[in-house]
Amino acid sequence: MISHVYVNPIYVSLASKLLRKTSVKVCSTIGFPYGASMPAVKGFEAKRAVEDGASELDMVMNLSAFKSRDYTLVKNDIKTVLEVKRLYSKKIIVKVIIETAFLTSEEIVMACKLCKETGADFVKTSTGLFGKGTTVEDVRLMRKTVGRSMGVKAAGGIRTYKDALAMIKAGANRIGTSTAAAIIREAPYG
């Protein structure tokens, strides 16, 4: 059963209307796919997505600012999106995509720490568009860094039941994949 559908912000309103009589949650991306939008733009995009019916947001961290070690900008960028949690009474989940394929182990740790410090709900491995895809080692490192109080979502290159199970064993409590139906069919109970 599909529990969440992710759409670009322009389609949140339509998806919300089409799915209003189902249990499927509408979720959206913010700053997708590069994360290089101005914080105010990401903030507007997040507010509008929530107003249009999104219950979860996957924002892309500003990788350029991060690589430049402008951690103040990175944190302010994340906090601008997190503002929707204060503005709207309903529970909004915000995940920060850090693009692990472009980061060293030390950078993954730093990115996770920044996400945790800002109050994000989850840290997510990737958009699935760039680089090598998610690795078990990256997920394990992310879980070790954020502890159990924060979610870890593995996404990017997870195509089989075996892949998904490996990510869960490494510490992911959510999986992002475009092959969910095939993974479910592969599962021993499916």
Tens of each residue's pLDDT in the chain, 190 residues? 678 888 999 999 999 999 999 999 999 999 999 999 999 999 999 999 999 999 999 999 999 999 999 999 999 999 999 999 999 866 899 999 999 999 999 999 999 999 999 999 999 999 988 877 899 999 999 999 999 999 999 999 898 999 999 999 999 999 988 877 788 888 887 5
**CA proximity to 156, closest of 130, 135, 134:** 134
Catalytic annotation, residues: 58, 124, 153
Structure tokens at 77: 């960028």
Task: Quote the pLDDT of residue 83.
Answer: 95
**CA proximity to 49, closest of 84, 5, 12, 86:** 12
Distance CA 178, CA 155 (A): 9
**What kind of architecture, by CATH, is found in domain 4-186?**
Alpha-Beta Barrel (3.20)
Task: Quote the pLDDT of residue 71.
Answer: 98
**Polymer length in residues for the chain:** 190
Task: Quote the pLDDT of residue 129.
Answer: 85
Task: Quote the pLDDT of residue 187.
Answer: 83
Residue 120, SS3 per DSSP: coil
What residue segments make up the domains of the chain, in order of their start?
A: 4-186
